[in-house]
Amino acid sequence: MVSKSKKEESEVTLNSGTKEIHIYNLYIQNEEVYEFLKDKVEKEEWLKRAIIIGSVGLKNMMIGYNVDYVDKRFNQFMNEVEIKFREQEKEIKTKIDETFDINKSSSSVAQLYKKIDETFDIKKSDSAIAKLTKILENYFDDKNGVVKQIIDETFSVKKKDSPMSKFMDNLSFYFHEENGILNKTLTKNLDITKKDTPLGMLAFNLDNYFDERRGIVKKLLDKSFDFNNKESAMHKFSELLEKNFDVDKGTIKKLLDPSKQDSPINQLKEEIVKNIKEVKTLLEQEQAMEDIIQKTTLKGIDFQDDVEAELQAIVNPYGDMIEDVSTSSGRSGKAGDFLISVDGNKKDRIAIECKDGCQYTCKKINQEISKIISNRNAKFTIFLFKKQNQIPTEMQPVRIAQNSMIVSYENNGLYFAYRIARMFIENDVDKQNQSIPIDKIQIEIQTIQDQARSFNTMMKKTTEIKNASIYINDELEIFHKQLENSLLNIERYLRPVIQ
């Protein structure tokens, strides 16, 4: 054993009266002592015992005490150590029981279970799970929940001011089986029992002209082609052919010889050539004008005139104001052709840009929309193409954003775009914090356009039927006149031969 001083010299003081030993500033560097003390809890107590045992042993060794005494003292020391170990084992077990015994309210595990019960006990109104349950019931209760109220306000058909109720009213307005516009239009145009409808008029005219017993065509055919009727054109024509069809004399040959200047067939040829030249000249002039329109601003001007005329009809029922600004400058240029002031308020403006061309990319369109909004101080911009195939493929058939809409003039696109832009401004979408479901709105717009396209097709077919009826009537009259004229011409051509 080696003792040494680190900062100060060691000092050992003995008190002869109390038999106490005071050791001051003593440092011991010994591996065996270190290994013995390193895992002991009460190191000072163990060190005292080691000094006592060591001192006794040294003393016995020095004065020749019997070794048995040392063994006795050593055994006594080991007994004390064992007792101490048992006491510490008991203390550790007690400490473990105090910490992990769930039946003791003071144990950490019992307190943890208590905290879990307090947190997740749904019967206690102040517990976290009870509060969470109350919040969830407040939002998702199937009778009075906030979400239920929002759904009712939006999709309830019984509430007149809900969007779903308004949508159903619009559907009923157009598609009601008795009073809807579609039913009225179909009844007005396609009722075959009424003579004042296009289909009824067509049926009446067809019956009037083509009835197999009393029809006008039947009468005309009987009158003109009845060989037994000496007054019919066919009978007269047959007689003329029989009398004048002389191949040797060449009468018919002369009449049908295109090389003779005074022959009817030559005159017909010259008339046909003349008409073909006139038609060719008209087509060339029309093509030249079309080329000029395509290469100049006339193309856009015609489209803008159509848009302005339709805008007047669309916005008048709502009391909005239209302004043609295509030739006037805004903040930074002339971007934007028309401005619509909602309810006459110039702070709530819809800008409309008209395009008749296919040279636009998505990037260029978005740049122009931003420029138009800034230039015209508009809250919403309608980027209107004349035809749907002019819109970039990835934006077809329609593309809607927070403050803009890209659409074509076809299939009532301008009407729907104006209505939606007006809804955005009326609901002040720019100032709303919540996000707008643009994708759902776009799907609804596409559905409306598909329905409008189907409706336009039906109207077009109705118009075609009406026009077909008028056309057949006119063509039958022309056919009758041409038939009579042709027969008179044949008679006139053959008259010199008869004489």
Residue 4 has pLDDT above 50, yes or no: no
SS3 content of the chain, % helix, strand, coil (to 5): 65, 10, 30
Judge whether residue 46 has pLDDT over 70: yes
Q: 298-436, which class in CATH?
A: alpha beta
pLDDT at 367 > cutoff 60? yes
Q: What is the pLDDT of residue 62?
A: 65
CA nearest to 445, candidates 423, 404, 413: 413
| pLDDT band at residue 479 using 50, 70 and 90 as cut-offs | low
How does pLDDT run across 102-154, given as a tens digit for each residue?
A: 777 777 777 787 778 778 777 777 878 888 887 887 887 877 788 877 887 77
Confidence class for position 292, pLDDT limits 50, 70, 90: very low
* pLDDT higher than 70, residue 94: yes
- Is-contact 339 349, C-beta < 8 A? yes
Q: Are 476 and 209 in contact (CB under 8 A)?
A: yes
For range 203-223, the mean pLDDT: 74
* pLDDT at position 353: 93
**β-pairing verdict for 338-341 and 349-355:** antiparallel
Where in the chain are all domains bearing CATH 3.40.1350?
298-436
Q: pLDDT digits over 377-392, tens only?
A: 899 999 999 988 898 9
Dump pLDDT digits (tens) for 152-165. 777 777 777 778 77
φ/ψ of residue 281, rounded to 5: -60, -45
Q: What pLDDT is stored for residue 66 in this prediction? A: 59
- Write down the pLDDT at residue 499: 44
